[in-house]
Chains A and B, each alone.
Chain A
Amino acid sequence: MIRTEELLLNVGPQHPSTHGVFRIIVKLDGEVITDATPVMGYLHRGTEKLAENLNYTQIIPYTDRMDYVSAMTNNYVLVHAVEKLMDIEVPERAEFLRLIVMELQRVASHLVWWGTYLLDIGAMSPFLYAFRDREIIVDLFNELCGARLTYNYMRVGGVKWDAPSGWIDKVRDFIPHMRKRLDEYDRLVSGNEIFLARIKGVGQYDQETAINYGLSGANLRSTGVDWDLRRAEPYSLYPRFEFDVPLGSKGDCYDRYVIRIQEIKESLRILEQAVAQFPSSGETMGKVPRVIRPPEGEIYARIESPRGEIGCYIISKGKAEPYRLKFRRPSFVNLQILPKLLIGETMTNLITILGGVDIVVGEVDC
């Protein structure tokens, strides 16, 4: 009988389809994976240690650099935690601005995922389309806070900058534009036979496994668990808006793909309502003491980032710096299931499955 020799293959850390500096060592028998060991830490910057010597406002830029594809939601989870700890009320206009940028960010983040995922699988042009549309959002953010990737936009008690005149109108114009584009992409990609053959039934797991692995975001909802923190544990102004939580049933890469596309549509729905209800005037900063010094205590705040549940656990000892700050990063937790999914799969499916999990390595390593 012919037996192929076992091959040890190093994927990454520098490989475009690992979405950053993520490395995985796979054992191959022919083309079939028999063992997979992820290796992390290439982007570990010690954010949590650094935060212990910084005051809360100084930590905000560090959160930008965790999940750099979705900096706005990272900003929010930190300021939200501190506000809860200090009982700070945020003015309505500021909260609206936050919600609008978070939903825009969700659209932008899913677009990046969509483009790069298809690139992984072998389609070049969707990547260009996705980045073309994302550019509009990035420009909007640029106009709002002067940065394209690391925004440092939110503050404890509000936001740093008010929307410039005409900005809300631009957001309003963006919504129908994006809807039209999404339909186009749906026709272009979602029904493509080759694409469907690549992702249907790949990387499948059931509900119980997903919960046991602590998955969140589209990874959890693809198995049919109705768990979106915007709905399950409402924060910000989400209770005011109507939107659906798209769910899957099979828990494969295809379901995750469909959910993310649907989520873009739902985000646009939220944006539409938010822009319509946007208060025409008002403060953008609440009453916040000059030195932010939360009382002694601890808090675990969590929100729904594009990748799942991002949490911020703060222990305060009444100082201007946190005693301990821990981020629950969805990419890190979601990635744990990868070795389990890979065993018995082929090398090509490694890329499909890894892409389907949707990780940002800045967040895996923190």
Chain B
Amino acid sequence: MSEDKNQREEKDHKQEQEQGHKLEQKSEPSSTPHEPSHEPLQQEAISSSTQDVHSQAISQEEKVETAALHETANLEQKQTPPKPPANATDTEAAKDKSKNDTKATPTPTGSAKERPAKPPRAAKSAEAVPEEPSPLQPLLDQLLEGIKREVAESAVQSAGINQKNGHLITLVVACEHWLRLAEWLKHDPAWQCNYLRNLSGVDQESYLEVVYHLIGLSTRREVAIHVRADCDSPSIPSVTSLWEAANWNEREVYDLFGIHFSDHPNLTRIMMPDQWVGHPLRKDYEPLDSEV
């Protein structure tokens, strides 16, 4: 009796280990006893996230945003099939997600899209947002005005303030206006963003983006800028001519995400070997040996 129990425990233990190693769970029907313990949690997480998205969709009715969201929702559907299942629970999640996607195509399911820390624009914040406006709101308005006047009317696609990040002004900038805007930010006397502190690539699955964290060391004004590129042939103008610090950072993003930076002086791989195939930090990247 006790021996039986021991054996069973051992078996369970094995399965746990297998799950830990993230073996292909599809061919592993014995792992089903474990699912119930995971499933409720997962589903809860998913439903709550979709609720979030709904409420966001209601509170934010910006035309541009929603239009973009539709686009991404469509794109996402296209994208889901080739995604490799990481483990059983993930595939469950993916299935659930795709179900949700088909059910609710008009509502933006692209949770990948939203940055919740970002309150809507100035005009909106007066309406129905319970959060009190950030102390940097006037500065943001001033910045947007300056960009409209000096760079282009449509340069900024959306703007907000990341309150958690010390009220960091965050802009989403149209790719075609980025270089012009960067130049303006660096040379405008009120901003003088001469220090590029961080540059990171992000794979948002429906699109790729590069995030720049800039600061003016003398003005102490800080801004984060997102520039987006599509997945098929991503290309963003290089800012190496403005900030030398971007040189290797852009090479790293090119290497790991496959984003092409036009006019970069030496766009070659920097971390991976030169003959490497693929870009490892992409979400759909499939490693040669999935068990490693």
Interface residues of chain A, those whose CB is within 8 Å of chain B, are 40-41, 44, 46, 48-49, 53, 84-85, 87, 209, 211-214, 225, 227, 232-233, 295-302, 309, 311, 313, 315, 317-319, 324, 326, 328, 332-333, 335-337, 365-366
B211 at the interface (CB under 8 A from A): yes
Contact B271 A40 (CB under 8 A): yes
Docked-complex contact A211 and B117, CB < 8 angstroms: no
Do the beta carbons of B194 and A313 come within 8 Å of each other?
no
B141 to chain A, nearest CB (A): 22
Chain B 195-217 per-residue mask, 1 if CB under 8 angstroms from chain A, else 0: 11110111100000001010001
Minimum C-beta distance from B162 to chain A (A): 7
**How distant is the Cα of A87 from the Cα of B117 in the complex, in angstroms?**
13
Instruction: Pick the residue among B52, B202, B244 that contacts A214 (CB under 8 A).
Output: B244
B245 is an interface residue with CB less than 8 A from chain A = yes
* In contact, A84 and B164 (Cβ under 8 angstroms): yes
**Residue B275, interface by CB 8 Å:** no
B45 in the interface (beta carbon within 8 A) = yes
Q: Look across to chain A and name the residue whose beta carbon is closest to the beta carbon of B87.
A: A53
Residue ranges of B at the interface with A (Cβ–Cβ < 8 Å): 22, 45, 49, 52, 86, 111-112, 114-117, 162, 164-166, 168, 194-198, 200-203, 211, 213, 217, 220, 224, 243-245, 247-249, 252, 256, 269-273, 280-281
Q: Within 8 Å CB of A48, what residues of B?
A: 256, 281
Docked-complex contact A214 and B243, CB < 8 angstroms: yes
14 A–B contacts from the bound complex (CB under 8 Å): A44-B272, A85-B164, A211-B194, A211-B217, A214-B195, A225-B217, A296-B114, A296-B115, A297-B116, A299-B165, A311-B198, A313-B213, A328-B200, A332-B252
Output the least CB separation between A247 and chain B (Å).
14
Contacts of A318 in B (CB 8 A): 45, 49, 52
Say how far A305's CB is from chain B's closest CB, in angstroms.
14
Q: How far is the CA of A318 from the CA of B47 in the complex (A)?
A: 12
Are B245 and A313 in contact (CB-based, < 8 A)?
A: no
Beta-carbon contact of B224 and A324 below 8 Å? no
CB pair B248–A333 under 8 Å, yes or no, is yes
How far, in angstroms, from A174 to B160 measured CA to CA in the complex?
Answer: 48
Contact of A298 with B162 at beta-carbon distance under 8 Å, contacts A211-B217, A225-B217, A313-B211 already known: yes
Alpha-carbon separation in the docked complex, A87 to B243 (Å): 33
Contact A336–B245 (Cβ < 8 Å): yes
On whether the beta carbons of A212 and B243 are closer than 8 Å, the reply is: yes
> In whole angstroms, how far apart are the Cα atoms of A40 and B268 in the complex?
12
Q: Report B275 CB to chain A, min CB distance, Å.
A: 13
Query: Does B117 lie within 8 Å of A297, measured CB to CB?
Result: yes
Q: Which residue from A84, A324, A332 sits with its C-beta under 8 Å from B200?
A: A324
Specify which of B22, B195, B272 lies most central, judged by the most chain A CB atoms within 10 Å of its CB. B195
Complex-state Cα separation, A326 to B165, whole angstroms: 15
Min CB gap B289→A, angstroms: 13
Please, which residue of chain A has its CB at the minimum distance from the CB of B194? A211
A299 vs B217: C-alpha distance when bound (angstroms): 20
Check if A213 sits within 8 Å of B245, measured CB to CB. yes
Contact between chains at B247 and A336 (CB < 8 Å):
yes
Q: Which residues of B contact A302 (CB under 8 A)?
A: 197-198
Which of chain B's residues have a CB closer than 8 A to the CB of A85?
Answer: 164
Residues of the A chain whose Cβ atoms lie less than 8 Å from the Cβ of B243: 212, 214
A311 touches B197 (CB 8 A): yes
Inter-chain CA distance A86–B211, complex, in Å, is: 21
Residues of B near A365 (CB, < 8 A) are 271
A214 to chain B, nearest CB (A): 3
Candidates B111, B166, B224, B248; contact of A336 at CB < 8 Å: B248
Among residues of B, the one whose C-beta sits closest to the C-beta of A337 is B244
Task: Compute how far the CA of A319 lies from the CA of B41 in the bound complex, rounded to whole angstroms.
Answer: 11
Compute how far the CA of A46 lies from the CA of B280 in the bound complex, rounded to whole angstroms. 8
CB of A49 within 8 A of CB of B281, answer yes
Please give me the 9 A-B residue pairs with the lowest Cβ-Cβ distance, nearest first.
A214-B245, A326-B200, A297-B117, A44-B271, A328-B198, A41-B271, A296-B116, A213-B244, A212-B244
What's the Cα separation between A37 and B256 when bound, in Å?
20
Q: In the complex, given contacts A211-B217, A311-B213, A336-B244, what are 17 additional A-B residue pairs having Cβ atoms less than 8 angstroms apart?
A: A40-B270, A44-B271, A49-B280, A49-B281, A87-B164, A212-B243, A212-B244, A213-B244, A213-B245, A214-B243, A296-B52, A297-B164, A298-B115, A298-B162, A318-B52, A324-B202, A328-B197
Complexed CA–CA distance, A121 and B117 (Å) = 51
Q: Are A299 and B197 in contact (CB under 8 A)?
A: no
Q: Whole-angstrom distance between the alpha carbons of A318 and B202 in the complex?
A: 16
Contacts of A336 in B (CB 8 A): 244-245, 247-248
Provide the residues of chain A in CB contact with B114, threshold 8 Å.
296
Whether the Cβ atoms of B198 and A300 lie closer than 8 Å is yes
Contact present for A297 and B115 (CB under 8 Å): yes
Of the residues A46, A212, A295, A300, contact of B165 by C-beta under 8 Å: A300
Report the Cα distance A295→B163, complex, angstroms. 13
In the complex the two chains form, is B164's CB within 8 Å of A214's CB?
no
* Given A311-B197, A324-B200: A300 in contact with B271 (beta carbons within 8 A): no
Separation of A49 and B272 alpha carbons in the complex (Å):
13
Closest to B220 in A: A232
Cβ contact of B248, chosen from A225, A326, A332, cutoff 8 A: A332
A130 to chain B, nearest CB (A): 30
Residues of chain B with a CB closer than 8 A to A296's CB: 52, 111, 114-117
Which residues in A have their C-beta under 8 angstroms from that of B252?
A: 332
A317 to B211, CA, bound (A): 17
Selected contact of A41 from candidates B111, B117, B249, B272, CB within 8 Å: B272
Residues of chain B within 8 A (CB-CB) of A301 are 165
Residues of B within 8 A of A213 (CB): 244-245
Q: How far is the CB of A363 from chain B (nearest CB, A)?
A: 13
- List B contacts of A326 (CB < 8 A): 198, 200-201
Say whether A313 contacts B280, CB under 8 Å. no
Q: Which residue of A lies closest to B116 (CB)?
A: A296
Q: Are B195 and A211 in contact (CB-based, < 8 A)?
A: yes
